[in-house]
Structure 1
Amino acid sequence: MSGLPLSLHDSVRERRTVDLLNLSAVPVAPPVIERVLEAANWAPSHGQTEPWRFAVFTGEARMRLSGALATSLALLKGEPQADPEVLRLQQGRQQLAPVWIAVAVEPAVQPRMPLHEEQWAVACAVQNLMLTARSLGLASKWISNPPSLHDATRAALGFGERASMMGVLYLGYPRDEGSWPAGKRRPLAEKVRYFTD
């Protein structure tokens, strides 16, 4: 909301999940949403397939997403339709973040690449999106629970039959811009081996 964008290095180090309950109700301006999606669109993809697909929900449209997720949860439980109380809770959850983005992978009609490579490309796109969001002062979280991956969610959100869901993510400004969650990582030396000769 304020200040200059963070550097790439700082955005990588400071990207953190901010809990839904700690988000502000301040809306995210459409040009900001467009900017994070444009960053996602520049992700690498083997064979230049660009398989990432997004559906953005703001305002009252967030209720469409909540309905899709509640219905998919019911189907996972073997129930024909969403329980009204579950739907109410899901609607409340969607209202906590000003922006929700459904994420899908859609291979070409005649796929040139294996599905896992297309999924990796989408993961790169989401990382680009989240890092750009952080550089602009936005919190984000990528959720990949069973309802968000369900085929009924895909259909309800209008993704094509070749697409498959890769979850949903939310964006929003934290209530307290000055207190991002602190991150911690084990030493890099525990995870890297160098071969020089």
Structure 2
Amino acid sequence: MSALPEAQPAPLDLLTAVRERRTVDLNRLSPRPIPTSTLLTLLEAANWAPSHGRTEPWRFVVFTGEGRMRLAETLATSLARLKGEAEPGPDVLRAQRERQRLAPVWLVVAAEPAEKPRMPLHEEQWAVACAVQTLMLAARALGIASKWITNAPSLHEHTRQALGFGEGVSLMGLVYLGYPQGEWPAGERRPVADKVRWVEEA
């Protein structure tokens, strides 16, 4: 007799998800897989981000299961190239594989402008940032933790080529996703009044 599927909590409302979105470290993630249907929900949310000129430049490569090892090998090689080495040593490769296994899902994020772009690259990259934020908020609403990483290996030319992106594509890092272990981490912010000026009269 198969086990009953685990009950899913109701999604959080938007403002609660905004307040409670937190970065959760890799070592605090559960190995529990994220269903493909849930990942498609998150990617569909990202697909509704704003973009100037309706260019929709966001691109994602999703790594799950043993597919994560391809990402690990790519990043390990990029790390070696940053150090002036052609290939990673066995210890580096092993460490990268262990790191990728800590999160059940990894996304490579990229901005791909049109062949004849009408918008400057920075606007395309900002649109991708909006898509990533939308995805992370949707993830929080469904009880999934995330972190956006923009370290050197994730942005390296070898990473771009190895993942099949063309010359005009700019990598924008990695996002990992996973269910947190234990209590959801609390956050805090300084008062918004300290960061806002109001202009009410000419």
Hey, what does 1:163 align to over in structure 2?
Answer: 169
- Of 112, 122, 125, the residue aligned with 1:119 is 125
Segments of 5+ residues of structure 1 without an aligned counterpart are: none
Specify the code of the residue in structure 2 equivalent to 1:63: M
Query: For 2:146, what is the secondary structure of its paired residue?
Result: strand
Hey, what does 2:4 align to over in structure 1?
Answer: none
Q: Distance in 2 between matches of 1:75 and 1:63?
A: 18
Hey, what does 1:174 align to over in structure 2?
Answer: 180
The count of aligned residue pairs is 195
Runs of 4+ in structure 1 deviating by more than 2 angstroms, as ranges, are none
Q: Distance in 2 between matches of 1:113 and 1:164?
A: 14
Query: For 1:67, what is the secondary structure of its paired residue?
Result: helix
CA contact (8 A) 1:151 1:164 kept: no
- Aligned identity (percent) is 66
Q: In the alignment, does 2:202 pair up with 1:183? A: no
Q: Distance in 2 between matches of 1:156 and 1:52?
A: 18
1:1-197 aligned at under 5 Å gives the runs 2-176=8-182, 179-197=183-201
Measured after TM superposition, the shift of residue 162 of structure 1 is: 1.6
CA deviation digits over 1:94-149, x for unaligned, max 9? 00000000000011101111111000000000000000000000000000000000
TM-score under structure 1 normalisation? 0.97
TM-score under structure 2 normalisation? 0.95
Q: Distance in 2 between matches of 1:96 and 1:28?
A: 13
Specify the code of the residue in structure 1 equivalent to 2:77: T
